[in-house]
Structure 1
Amino acid sequence: MEIILDDLSHPKVSGLIMEHLDQMSEVSPPESIHALNLEGLKQPDVTFWSAWENDTLLGCGALKELDDQHGEIKSMRTSTLHLRKGVAKRILQHLIEEAKRRGYQRLSLETGSMNAFEPAKQLYASFGFQYCKPFSNYTEDPNSVFMTREL
């Protein structure tokens, strides 16, 4: 698996982002969806990576810089054809390493509170993320959980 810095121009990548947004719409009310669309992922404070095996897109993830010491994980997604193969684990490792390289002291995330998000919450917990209060511009929401990890 190769994880590359990505400009979101490949049709497979835009397709995966659309799949991600569609799934969020199926399980979360509109006001509780915090996933970034393509334009949001192209903002200067967001860095996006995709994971490939040859010409097969396996997944993606992004880091949003909240400030010079705090980053947020965004758009963690594994292609449905490659679930439970360690893709998300590798992407998360990459994002944590990059956050450390940038000098962040903390890495945080928001994910859904529903059962559909249980595998993601378990993955984050296995990497030392702990539940926390809302951070940045988030507010309390029964459909969201917030997690953070000191680096």
Structure 2
Amino acid sequence: MVMRIELDDLTRPQVHALLEEHLAHMFELSPPEQVFALDLAKLRVPEISFWTVWDGEQLLGCGALKTLSATHGEIKSMRTPAKMRGNGAGRAVLVHIIATARQRGYQTLSLETGTHPAFEPAHRLYRSQGFQVSGPFGDYLVDPHSAFMQLRLEQADDPA
């Protein structure tokens, strides 16, 4: 498998299908008011960069980076298709997002994810890259369905 990561314009049908899968799964696992996954329209804004991971024409995963301030970014829309899990695409796009955040001069990279047991593989992936449990950031509030994690980039070693 030869993975390539592309800055994506969100126009390909495969990407649309993956994002629809992502949203549907989030609504299965969390109450509707606690689903913070973004749809296509909300991903197509200047403050969000969106990447996809491919092997030839096969979509392996995606992830996004939202600029919150000049020094703070948020990871959004991390997803690997259910049938493609375990191939390293999630790790690859996460490492790419962390490197991009460093290049942009961010000091902090944050994320919100769910607390349902189905999110544990994602929690392990984030911890493996140095993320630590934190409190809410931005407009998020403390909620039993949300887990918050943060990576301090100025102190982090490059795990790649």
TM-score (norm. length: structure 1): 0.99
Deviations 1:98-139 (A, max 9, x none): 000111001000000110100000110111100111000100
Kindly state the Cα deviation for residue 20 of structure 1 after the two structures are TM-superposed.
Answer: 0.1
Percent same amino acid at aligned positions? 52
Unmatched 5+ residue regions in structure 1? none
Instruction: State the distance in 2 between where 1:13 and 1:139 align.
Output: 30
Could you tell me which of 94, 97, 100 is aligned with 2:99? 97
Task: Supply the AA of the counterpart residue of 1:83.
Answer: R
The aligned residue for residue 137 of structure 1 is: 139
Kindly state the Cα deviation for residue 85 of structure 1 after the two structures are TM-superposed.
Answer: 1.2
The aligned residue for residue 114 of structure 1 is: 116
Q: How many residues matched?
A: 151
Instruction: State the distance in 2 between where 1:74 and 1:138 align.
Output: 14
Instruction: State the distance in 1 between where 2:143 and 2:46 align.
Output: 27
Deviations 1:17-52 (A, max 9, x none): 000000001111001100000001001111100000
Structure 1 position 13 matched with structure 2 position 15: yes
Q: Secondary structure at the match of 1:146?
A: strand
What value does the CA root-mean-square deviation take over the aligned residues?
A: 0.5
Instruction: State the distance in 2 between where 1:44 and 1:28 align.
Output: 28
The aligned residue for residue 41 of structure 2 is: 39
Task: Supply the AA of the counterpart residue of 1:71.
Answer: G
The aligned residue for residue 67 of structure 2 is: 65
Unmatched 5+ residue regions in structure 2? 154-160
Task: Supply the AA of the counterpart residue of 1:44.
Answer: P
Task: Supply the AA of the counterpart residue of 2:118.
Answer: A
Q: Secondary structure at the match of 2:112?
A: strand
Instruction: State the distance in 2 between where 1:35 and 1:102 align.
Output: 23
The aligned residue for residue 125 of structure 1 is: 127
Task: Supply the AA of the counterpart residue of 1:143.
Answer: H
